[in-house]
Amino acid sequence: MTMKLDPNTLIAQLTYLGLPFIGEHYQTLAQQAATEHWSHLQFLERLIEGQAQARESRRIERRVQLARFPLIKTLDAFQWDWPKKINRLQIQNIFRLAFIEQNANAIFLGGVGVGKSHLAIALGHTACLKGYSVLFTTAIDIINTLSAAQTTSTLKRELRKYLKPNLLLIDELGYLPIDKHGADLLFQIISQRYEQGAIVITSNRAFKHWPAIFNNDSTLTSALLDRLLHHADTVIIEGKSYRMKDQIEE
- Flag whether pLDDT at 1 surpasses 60: no
- Flag whether pLDDT at 190 surpasses 50: yes
Average of pLDDT values for 50-70?
90
Strands (E), the chain: 105-110, 134-138, 167-173, 198-203, 232-237
- Flag whether pLDDT at 88 surpasses 80: yes
pLDDT band at 20 (very low <50, low <70, confident <90, very high): confident
> What per-residue confidence (pLDDT) applies to 179?
93
Tell me if residue 104 falls in helix, strand or coil. coil
Are 234 and 199 in contact by the 8 Å Cβ rule? The answer is no
Which residue(s) pair with 106 in the sheet? 200, 233
pTM over the 0.75 mark: yes
- Flag whether pLDDT at 67 surpasses 50: yes
- Residue 47 is inside which H or E element, if any? helix 40-67
- Flag whether pLDDT at 30 surpasses 90: no
> What per-residue confidence (pLDDT) applies to 245?
61
DSSP codes joined into one string, 55-99? HHHHHHHHHHHHHT-SS---STT--TTSSSB--HHHHHHHTT-HH
Say what percent of the chain tops pLDDT 90: 70
Alpha carbon 33 to its chain's center: 40
CA–CA gap between residue 198 and residue 191 (Å, rounded): 12
- Comparing 179 with 5, which gets the higher pLDDT? 179
Pairing of strands 232-237, 167-173: unpaired
> What per-residue confidence (pLDDT) applies to 25?
82
Pairing of strands 105-110, 232-237: parallel
Closest CA to 185 of 220, 209, 137: 220
Residue-averaged pLDDT of the chain? 91
Cα separations in angstroms, 235 against 17, 201, 221 = 47, 10, 19
CA–CA gap between residue 61 and residue 54 (Å, rounded): 11
